Amino acid sequence: MMKISRRLNTPQLCAAAAALSFLADRISKGSLALFGCRAHFNGGISFGLFSGAGAAVTGFSAGAAAALVVAAFALLRRRESDKLFSCGLGLAIGGALGNSADRLLFGCVKDWIFVPFSHLVLKGGLWINIADISLCAGAAVVVLDLLRAAKRG
């Protein structure tokens, strides 16, 4: 039996992280009915801002996701050896693409995870999804990695 042991380069690692987070988001949203989960539909952006903007929000979201993909691969060419940075970018890309897919397919984002106690701060509470978590976690990883690199000098 042939054993394949190949290390992923940073663009491949970024693409793998993006694909995994995108698939996790799509599968989770597609499985809501199976598990009896309730969904909240957000026609706006974060916290429901600009919810009446419709096509403008969809266009902006798709454009921002595309720009993120292009910028990520341009950055990865400059930071070839940094695996953590690559994973963070991949997570952010997967999350952005997951929410963009919702907007393009349905005109809104399907959120299904209710954040406990958020109703004390926001009317109706805060609803999120796997794409939101991937996007935020990816952005946090990228920022922390950049701070770590700056500290090293």
Q: Name the pTM for this structure.
A: 0.82
**145 has catalytic annotation:** no
Q: What is the dihedral of CA 47, 56, 107, 62, to 10 degrees?
A: -90
139: closest CA among 72, 52, 48, 82?
72
Task: Kindly tell me if the per-residue pLDDT of 59 is higher than 60.
Answer: yes
Q: Which of 25, 82, 132, 145 is the catalytic position? A: 132
Answer with the residue of higher pLDDT: 127 or 45: 127
pLDDT confidence bin for 67, thresholds 50/70/90: confident
Q: Give dist(CA 82, CA 73) in Å, integer.
A: 13
- The pLDDT score that the predictor gives to residue 110 is 92
Residue with tokens 């694909």: 19
Active site residue 132: yes
pLDDT tens digit string along 71-115?
877 777 776 568 888 999 999 999 999 999 998 898 889 999 999
How large is the angle between the packed helices 55-78 and 10-30, nearest 10 degrees?
A: 150
* Whole-number pLDDT of residue 4: 46
Position 47 scores a pLDDT of: 56
More confident position, 98 or 123: 98
**What is the phi-psi region of residue 122: left when phi exceeds 0, alpha when psi lies from -120 to 50, beta otherwise?**
beta
Catalytic residue, chosen from 82, 102, 111, 145, is: 111
Q: Are 11 and 75 in contact (CB under 8 A)?
A: no
Place of tokens 């993120």: 68
